[in-house]
Structure formats: C-alpha cells, structure tokens
Structure 1
Amino acid sequence: MRTKISPSLMCMNLMEIKQQLAILNSRADFLHVDIMDGHYVKNITLSPFFIEQIRPYTPLAIDVHLMVEEPTDFIEAVAKAGADYICPHAETINRDAFRVINQIRALGKKPGVVLNPATPVSFIHHYIHLLDKITVMTVDPGYAGQPFIPEMINKIAELKALKEQHGYTWLIEIDGSCNQKTYTTLLDAGAEVLIVGTSGLFNLHANLETAWDDMMVNIAQAQSALRESA
C-alpha cells in the first residue's frame, strides 16, 4: 500500500489558508483537523466552523480528531460541517462505543478511533471490526512538537498483525512526531497514514510547495532504506 499523507491543519499558516489548501489539494490524501475542548487536553485549536469554512475549498477527505471529553456533543456538528472521518479517543467512548460508531455511520461518515500512548489495543477489541481507521498517538495528546514515544512501535506492529490475520480493512494511522527521524521505523512497523505537522512538513521550508517536496524526499529515503534492508 502506498503511504498516505495527512497534513495537520492546526500547524499550517492560518493567514494563508486558501493558498495552502490549494497546494495540499493536489498532493495530500487527507486533511487532519484537531478539535479540542480545553478539558480533555489543555488546549483549544480548530472547530466545526473551521471545517465548514474550508469544505468548499478542498475535495480531500477531512479527517476530524476529537480530543474532547464528550464526543457526542461534537459528532453531529462536525458531520454537518463536512467531515468525512470522525475519530474520537477510545477512552472517551468505551461506555457507549457501539452507539457512537452507529451514530457516525448513520450520518454517512467513517468512524475511527484514537489510542493514547498508554492505551492498549485490547481496549477496543470488541468493536475493532467496525472501524475504518485506527490512529496511534506516538506522543501524549494536546500539543504539537512533543518527542516521539518509541514504545508505540510495538503497538503499530500489533495492529498490523491483527489486520493481516483477520483481514480488517481499517487504516493504521500515526499521529505525533512523524518526521525524517521516525519515518523508517514507523513504516517498517506498519504505518499506512502519516499525520504530518510542524516537524514533518510545515517547518521544513517557508514555501509549502518546497516543504512538501522536501518531506517526500525524506519519506522516499525511508522507503528505500527499508527495501535495501529487506
């Protein structure tokens, strides 16, 4: 499977949204939108209104990451705003996971789930077959620019093995410190979608087109290194 790229829009230059979306539209596979409530994590970033504003300017799938204590307060709003994937944290839905997943599907959207670093894959065992995407946090949630947590490599490999064993179709996505230092390890473990933010994309160059090209060189080098070691 070709590695898919999902730029994290909270890391983009928000003063140049239209210009940067135009660049990403022909290059990215998804657009990653973080929504935080200031409670589940001590930060507030984007909103359903932001999704509504960018929806007319991109054909890409908008992937919404709900870092909120009460996902059901946001699901309908982000769906109406134009989200394609809706991904709450497993810790916030396990009391009513089946109801939440059914709600997302009933709205015509794809359900995903996000696993914090300390949350095991077994936490979602009973509904893992109902998902379209599983996001592994390789940093603690809340802020960009945190250091990579290497213990997450085993979790990614565990998901890859489960997917192959049972024929699951969900995507294995990585959120946190996806950059030149980690690409080889992440791809080797089984990562399929890379969420790229400051260190992986937007801080590589002031010109986003140049930054994208630099990122793709870094990813290609990681893929080449894996082929050579195979």
Structure 2
Amino acid sequence: VFVPNLTIGPDVIHSCRPVVEIPFEAHLMVIEADELIPRYVEAGCDMILVHREACTHLHRTLSHIRDLGVSPGVVLNPATPATTIEHVMDLVDQILVMTVNPGFGGQAYLQSMEPKISQVAEMISVSGRDIDLEVDGGLAVDTVAGATAAGANVVVAGSAVFKDPEGFAHAIPAIRDAGVSTRS
C-alpha cells in the first residue's frame, strides 16, 4: 500500500454505478496497482490513474488499463520530476500533479508545485495530444487560481468541498469560479 487509507473502493463504485451517470475516476495510491486495476474496471470506473513512483513497469500498466477499455492516467508526487513521464505521454489521457504529499486530506497546498504544473502543461502542448492536466491536494477558493493559471484544467477539491460550513452547493461553484477566472 502506498498510503494507509481507502476512501472509495470498488464495492462502493459498483453500488453507485447504476444510479450515477458521471464518469468515475479511480486514483490508485498503491504500489504495483496491476492486481487491483481489473476490480476497478469491473466496478465501473471510466478512468484509472496510477502513481509513477509506485509502478515498476509504468508503460505496461498504462497499456493494460487502456486494453481493459478505460482511460489511463499517471500521477506525479511532489518530489518526482515531470520528465519521468515523457516516455508515456502517448499512453495517457490524464496527468495528475499532486500538490500535497499523498496520504490524507486537509493538507496545505504546495504552491511550489505551480512551476511543475506549467512544465507538464508544456509537455502536453508539445505532445499534440488532448490530455487533461489534473491537480489534487489543498485546492480551495484561495489556491485554485494558481493551479489553473499554471495550466491545470481538472481540479480535485476534497476537504474544501466536504468541510465547507455552507455545504457543497456553496463550495463547488465558489472553487470553480475562482479557478475559471484565471483561465479566461
């Protein structure tokens, strides 16, 4: 295990799939995810992301995800250079840059990741492929603008949404608006 907690596993995804129409993304923070990937596909995931640092054979793992009929993505931890995924740019539909160290929700956003987000955005541009650039960790109304200005077009905002005293209906549009204003 890469991190000691499981937020939503394949059983929950399987239970939700018949009644939820939005795409499901599984971010597998586990070492050697290959054994788990089929369970998430069978449960109904549309996208599966694996950590660069946790896959011995990243090329093979990403190809396996695509062969199972879902969209593959790769995740970079804060200390991992963006250049370590250049060899798999043609295999991914999504790249996720962690803006906290993996583990638990509620950590502070690492603004120092913004140059890395920009670097990955440039790598995507050079590739000529339509690859989403996602960020995860510490994203909230006051931090999302830096991430989207650096090039992110997908944002994970867990704690900021779930802990907002005014609820989801307030948090989601507020974060979206704060991020969108920098991309206009």
Specify if TM > 0.5.
Answer: yes
Residue 165 in structure 1 maps to residue 122 in structure 2? no
What's the counterpart of residue 24 of structure 2? 62
Query: RMSD value over aligned CA atoms?
Result: 1.7
- Cα displacement string for residues 143-176 of structure 1 (whole angstroms, at most 9, x for unaligned residues): 0000111111011000111222231211000111
Displacement, 1:207? 4.1
- SS in structure 2 opposite 1:151? helix
| Cα gap change, 1:167 to 1:107, in 2 (>3 Å) | same
1:206 offset after TM fit, Å?
5.3
Change (3 A) 1:218 1:72: closer
Letter in 2 for 1:152: M
How many correspondences in the alignment?
Answer: 184
Deviations 1:19-53 (Å, cap 9, x if unpaired)?
xxxxxxxxxxxxxxxxxxxx311323321111111
**Which 5+ residue runs of structure 2 have no aligned equivalent?**
none
Matches within 5 A, 1:45-124: 45-93=7-55, 95-124=56-85
Matched, 1:156 2:117: yes
Matched, 1:203 2:163: yes
> Which of the two has higher C-alpha Rg?
1
From 117, 126, 138, the equivalent of 2:87 is 126
- 1:43 corresponds in structure 2 to 5
CA 1:74–1:205 in 2, change beyond 3 Å: closer, same or farther? same
Q: State the Cα distance separating 1:62 from its structure 2 match.
A: 0.3
Task: Give the TM-score of the pair, scaled to structure 1.
Answer: 0.75
Q: Percent identity?
A: 34
Partner of 1:219: 176
* Structure 1 gap ranges (5+): 1-38
Provide the rounded CA distance (Å) in 2 between the counterparts of 1:130 and 1:152: 23
* Cα distance in 2 for residues equivalent to 1:215 and 1:46: 20
**How has the CA–CA distance of structure 1 residues 129 and 49 changed in structure 2, closer, same or farther, with 3 Å as cutoff?**
same
Higher relative contact order, structure no. (Cα contacts within 8 Å, ≥ 6 residues apart): 1
> Which letter maps to 1:46?
I
TM-score normalised by length of structure 2: 0.92
Partner-residue secondary structure (3-state), 2:111: coil
Answer whether contact 2:29 2:51 (CA < 8 A) is retained: yes
1:15 is aligned to none
Matched, 1:143 2:104: yes
